[in-house]
Amino acid sequence: MIMFLLIRLIVVDGGSTDGTLEYLSKFPKVEIIDDSKGNRATAREKGIKVVETEWHLHVDSDVVLCRDWFKYASKYMREGVGAIWGVAIPVEEHVFNMVYSMSKLYRMRIIDTLIAQVFSKRYMTHDTLIRTEAVEDIRIPRDLYVWEDHYIGLHIVSKGYKFIKTRIPYCLHYVSEKSLESNILNGYILNK
C-alpha cells in the first residue's frame, strides 16, 4: 500500500484575479510561485524545478480529481513508469455535447468516445502523476504555450519510461469551448 503525504502544495500562478491567492495564503503548506509573465510551458517547468519528492502531481486549474484518485493511480506506480494520466470527462454542457456528437458520428457510446482519448498518441498532463526523475532535466521551449504537456510526455518516453493512460482514475474537466477551439487550432498549426 502506498501512502500519500502532502508535504506541500505548489501553485504556479499565471496572474489569477479571482481570489485564489488570497484563499491559498491561509494555508501554511502552500508555496505560490509567480509566473504572471509566463505561459503554460514556463509554469510547468517552474513547478517541476521546485519539486523535492519522488512523485508529483500536475493538476490544472480547470480540473477536479475523482474520489480516491491517488488510490487508483498508486497501483500503476512501479518500476519503469514515468507518468500516470487519467481520462478527462468534460463537464461544461457545450463541450460534452461535442463529445456526444462525436459518439454519434463514430457510432460509439459516449463513455467509449471519452475513453478513446486514453489510447490517443497525445500526452496530456491536466491530472498526471509524474516520477520527478523522469522530468528533472527537462527544458520546455518557452514559446510552447500549448501542447507543452505533450512535450513533457515525449520527454518522459524518450528517457525510457512508460506514460500510462488509464480509464480510472479520471478527472472532471471544466474546459470551455473557447479554450478547446484554441487548443485544437494551435495543435493543428503546430503539427502541420
In the chain the beta strands, taken as DSSP E runs, fall at 9-13, 30-34, 55-59, 63-65, 81-90, 127-131, 162-173
pLDDT tens, per residue, the chain with 192 residues: 344 555 778 999 999 888 989 998 898 889 999 999 999 999 999 999 999 999 999 999 889 999 999 999 999 999 999 999 988 888 888 888 888 888 898 898 877 777 676 567 889 888 999 999 999 999 999 998 889 999 999 999 999 999 998 889 989 888 765 554 444 444 433 333
Give 104's contacts (C-beta < 8 A, 6+ positions apart): none
Pairing relationship of beta strands 30-34 and 9-13 according to DSSP bridges: parallel
H-type alpha helices, 33-166: 40-50, 69-74, 93-105, 110-116, 148-158
Gyration radius of the chain over CA positions: 17
Q: Are 173 and 128 in contact (CB under 8 A)?
A: no
Tell me the three state secondary structure of residue 25: coil
pTM for the full model?
0.81
The pLDDT, as a whole number, for residue 103 is 86
Which amino acid is residue 187, in one-letter code? G
Name the architecture of domain 54-191.
Alpha-Beta Complex (3.90)
- As given in the structure block, the three cell numbers for residue 172 are 472532471
Matching residue, cell 495564503: 25
Secondary element (H or E) of residue 5:
none
- Cis omega (within 30 of 0) for bond into 90: no
Matching residue, cell 501542447: 147
Q: Which of 168, 189, 24, 172 is nearest to 86 (CA)?
A: 168
The pLDDT, as a whole number, for residue 149 is 93
Q: How far is Cα 18 from Cα 53, in angstroms, rounded to an integer?
A: 29
The pLDDT, as a whole number, for residue 56 is 95
